[in-house]
């Protein structure tokens, strides 16, 4: 809403506590035909994904010999980790910095913690596909015979069970953040609804009353859990990228891959949340809560992340390219310039060129559509990055070799067969569709239980927001509690 | 003597804050009453007592337990299988780093979740005295007092501008 002098007044100023409670509780219980159709469509696609997985599992099984068939499955897992798995960090980060504009997007980003359950299930088959560190099982680690990993020679259960434990920790932490944050809204939904959903929310709210003690503890626990989520998320990105990509490619040693992977995750998570609030605003009926502010402010963060992405990629590329080491040359040929050139170009274009080219302009940043397009772009870019990292890594059979530079091409081949690009087959396409639709479906199912807009944070925002006249204009005054 | 809960409901937050002052003037202490709100008001907005906490103790203890378990597991594994790798000492820190970090994080998270349940006294079997209008922006002032004080408390809350006053057994 413009005030006549070019200044923007946020849409939230017209809200009331009662209006927020009534509208958002109603949204949870009301039947929405469009939403029902969307969920049915997503359900069908998700079933296709399950069919794709079952066919792949029955046809190829889970063994070292069939690992190359699971490359796109692994890429999809990493992509889900980057988008839905990292999205709760958005709520955590902007709560720490006490931004007012975060309020419309906090719950939406936290709700992606529910998708963590899908991600955890997705991870189980990958455990069966990751080769042992001691490949010949002789109790000794030997270069050129066994795998070199970040786990060295220990400890018990490495890497599979430690990877799994980290994943479980991340999912539990994400769900705990969602629960602690949503308890006040659960009690409202329970009081205003009926049926099994209200009963479930009443149980989960666990007697929330809203005393000063309740609020104080909630804030403290959210801050602590947020810190742990961030610390664990970085660990999970590190472990996944090192165990399921880098250590499967003989000779690949790269200290910036894991940070680059984590950064791509944070960038994709920002894109995921931007696209989500755009959908909520445009088609979800939440326009009265989501003004221009979240898009405008978030676009600056996304621009910063995009610039960092470019810098991280350049650092990764530069050392390999300038060093002229045969192994490093082979690695960048594999994941960037030869075998997966198309995936790399799409990755670079969508993760860097498009968002940077768009968000450079103030007019684009100060809009709803511009940051959303940039957000969608970085999601696509992250997908192609995961494809170019994980599909080639899973295609290498000789994981105990000294270097991929030693691989020899067959007669009449320019590139060794293990380094040739793998194109997705129909089951891979089903699996990818299943992953995308499963994420959206779980999110939408979550909105049938909990308000996708945090009621208490929206109401809290109203306490600190005021529009006051100054000379000939009217301006928003924002309070800062501490 | 049995304890009673009295809930005064205010449409205006200023009246609720004044009710707190009136209760103190009537001889109650800040520990005897609390404010129920649908959104977190800044600390001290109602002139209420400072609520201190020691919640950080839970993750700290959990992190220490996880760290200890991680160090023990990695060092004992390396001692049990003393393989010299790359000329490095048997007990070297880099191979221990990931496991100890992960153990620390998992311990901290687990204890934090337990801390939430313990510190918030969850699960609460009953909600206690409450009014749904609090979710619509009303402010509740809930007073826990002796049976014989309840009448006087009701009077104070009403005089302070409560739109509704309820009484029930203290939970």
* Residue A1 belongs to a domain: no
Average pLDDT of the residues in B70-84:
83
| Chain A neighbors of B130, CB-CB under 8 A | 209
* Confidence (pLDDT) at A1: 46
CA dist A461 and A455 (Å) reads 10
Among the partner residues B34, B59, B85, nearest to A224 by beta-carbon distance? B59
* Residue A428 belongs to a domain: yes
Chain B residue with minimal CA distance to A142? B85
Which range marks the domain in which residue A143 is found?
A: 31-478
Average pLDDT of the residues in B142-152:
89
The Cβ-side half-sphere exposure at A343, using a 13 Å CA radius, reads: 25
Q: Is B130 on the interface with A (CB under 8 A)?
A: yes
| Chain A neighbors of B123, CB-CB under 8 A | 206-207
What was the ipTM of the complex prediction? 0.86
CA dist A148 and A405 (Å) reads 16
Chain B residue with minimal CA distance to A220? B55
| Chain B neighbors of A17, CB-CB under 8 A | 38-39, 135-137
List pLDDT tens digits, range B100-117: 999 999 999 999 999 988
Average pLDDT of the residues in B82-86:
73
Among the partner residues B55, B99, B115, nearest to A162 by beta-carbon distance? B99
- Nearest Cα to Cα of residue A249 among A430, A407, A381: A407
Instruction: Specify the number of domains making up chain A.
Output: 1
* Residue A22 belongs to a domain: no
Size of the A and B interface in Cβ pairs below 8 Å: 160
Put simply, the answer to whether A17 touches B136 (Cβ < 8 Å) is yes
- Nearest Cα to Cα of residue A261 among A240, A230, A231, A232: A240
Which residues 33-62 on chain B approach chain A with CB closer than 8 angstroms? 34-43, 46, 48, 51, 53, 55-56, 59
Put simply, the answer to whether A156 touches B77 (Cβ < 8 Å) is yes
Query: Which residue pairs, CB below 8 angstroms and at least 24 apart, start in A53-57?
Result: A53/A125, A53/A427, A53/A430, A53/A431, A53/A434, A55/A427, A55/A430, A56/A427, A56/A428, A56/A431, A57/A125
Min Cα–Cα distance to chain B from A37, Å: 32
Take residue A451 and report the two structure tokens written for it: 């308000």
Which residues 310-369 on chain A approach chain B with CB closer than 8 angstroms? none
* Confidence (pLDDT) at A167: 96
* Confidence (pLDDT) at B67: 96
* Confidence (pLDDT) at A93: 93
Among the partner residues A180, A456, A482, nearest to B38 by beta-carbon distance? A456
* Confidence (pLDDT) at A12: 61
CA dist A446 and A148 (Å) reads 42
* Residue A25 belongs to a domain: no
* Residue A7 belongs to a domain: no
Q: How confident is the model at residue B159 (pLDDT cuts 50, 70, 90)?
A: very high
CB B70 within 8 A of CB B102: yes
* Confidence (pLDDT) at B122: 75
Q: Which helix (H) or strand (E) holds B144?
A: strand B139-146
List pLDDT tens digits, range A417-437: 899 999 999 999 999 999 999
Alpha helices by DSSP H, A7-159: 17-29, 33-60, 71-82, 88-96, 103-111, 115-129
Chain A residue with minimal CA distance to B123? A206
Work out whether the CA dihedral A332, A336, A340, A341 comes out positive or negative.
negative
* Residue A16 belongs to a domain: no
Which residues in chain A show pLDDT less than 50? 1-2, 4-5
* Confidence (pLDDT) at A2: 47
* Confidence (pLDDT) at B1: 59
* Residue A6 belongs to a domain: no
Q: Where are the domains of chain B?
A: 1-171
Put simply, the answer to whether A211 touches B142 (Cβ < 8 Å) is yes
Q: Which residue has the tokens 């017209």?
A: A14
């Amino acid at each position: 809403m413009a005030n006549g002098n070019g200044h923007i007044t946020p849409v939230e100023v017209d809200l009331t506590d009662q209006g927020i409670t009534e509208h958002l509780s109603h949204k949870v219980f009301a039947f929405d035909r469009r939403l029902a159709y969307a969920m049915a469509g997503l359900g069908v696609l998700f079933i296709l994904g399950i069919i794709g997985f079952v066919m792949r599992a029955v046809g190829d099984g889970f063994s070292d010999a069939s690992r190359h068939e699971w490359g796109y499955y692994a890429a999809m897992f990493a992509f889900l980790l980057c988008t839905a798995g990292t999205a709760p960090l958005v709520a955590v980060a902007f709560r720490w910095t006490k931004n007012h504009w975060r309020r419309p997007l906090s719950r939406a980003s936290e709700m992606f913690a529910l998708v963590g359950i899908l991600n955890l299930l997705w991870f189980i088959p990958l455990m069966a596909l990751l080769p042992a560190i001691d490949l010949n099982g002789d109790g000794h680690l030997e270069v050129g015979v066994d795998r070199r990993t970040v786990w060295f020679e220990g400890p018990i259960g490495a890497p599979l069970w430690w990877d799994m434990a980290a994943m479980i920790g991340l999912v539990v932490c994400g769900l705990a953040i969602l629960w602690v944050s949503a308890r006040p809204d659960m009690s409202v939904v329970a009081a205003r609804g009926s049926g099994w959903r209200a009963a479930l929310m009443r149980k989960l709210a666990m007697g929330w009353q809203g005393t000063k003690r309740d609020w104080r503890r909630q804030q403290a626990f959210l801050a602590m859990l947020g810190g742990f989520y961030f610390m664990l998320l970085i660990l999970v990105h590190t472990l996944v990228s090192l165990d399921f990509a880098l250590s499967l490619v003989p000779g690949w040693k790269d200290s910036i891959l894991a940070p680059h992977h984590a950064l791509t995750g944070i960038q994709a998570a920002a894109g995921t949340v931007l696209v989500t609030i755009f959908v909520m605003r445009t088609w979800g009926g939440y326009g009265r809560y989501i003004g221009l502010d979240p898009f405008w402010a978030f676009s600056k963060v996304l621009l910063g992340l995009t610039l960092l992405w470019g810098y991280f990629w350049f650092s990764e590329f530069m050392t390999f390219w300038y060093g002229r080491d045969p192994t490093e040359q082979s690695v960048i040929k594999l994941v960037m310039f030869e075998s997966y050139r198309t995936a790399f170009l799409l990755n670079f274009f969508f993760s860097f060129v498009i968002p940077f080219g768009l968000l450079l302009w103030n007019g684009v940043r100060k809009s709803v559509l511009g940051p959303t397009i940039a957000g969608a772009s970085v999601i696509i870019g992250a997908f192609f990055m995961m494809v170019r990292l994980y599909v080639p890594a899973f295609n290498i059979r000789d994981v105990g070799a000294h270097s991929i530079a030693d691989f020899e091409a067959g007669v009449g081949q320019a590139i060794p067969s293990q380094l040739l690009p793998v194109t997705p087959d129909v089951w891979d396409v089903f699996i990818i569709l299943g992953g995308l639709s499963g994420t959206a479906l779980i999110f939408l199912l979550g909105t049938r239980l909990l308000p996708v807009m945090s009621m208490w944070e929206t109401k809290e925002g109203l306490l600190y927001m005021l529009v006051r006249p100054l000379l000939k204009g009217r301006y928003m005054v924002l309070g800062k509690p501490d | 003597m049995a304890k009673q809960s009295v809930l005064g409901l205010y449409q205006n937050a200023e009246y609720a804050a004044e009710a707190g002052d009136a209760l103190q003037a009537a001889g109650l202490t800040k520990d005897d009453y609390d404010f129920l709100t649908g959104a977190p008001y800044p600390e001290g907005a109602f002139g209420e007592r400072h609520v201190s906490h020691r919640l950080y103790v839970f993750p700290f203890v959990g992190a220490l337990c996880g760290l200890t378990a991680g160090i023990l597991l990695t060092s004992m594994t390396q001692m049990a299988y003393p393989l010299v790798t790359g000329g490095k000492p048997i007990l070297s820190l880099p191979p221990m780093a990931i496991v100890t970090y992960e153990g620390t994080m998992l311990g901290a998270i687990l204890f934090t979740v337990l801390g939430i349940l313990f510190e918030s006294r969850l699960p609460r079997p009953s909600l206690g005295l409450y009014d749904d209008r609090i979710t619509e922006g009303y402010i509740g002032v809930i007073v826990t007092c002796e049976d014989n004080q309840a009448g006087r408390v009701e009077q104070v809350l009403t005089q302070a501008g409560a739109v509704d006053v309820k009484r029930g057994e203290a939970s």
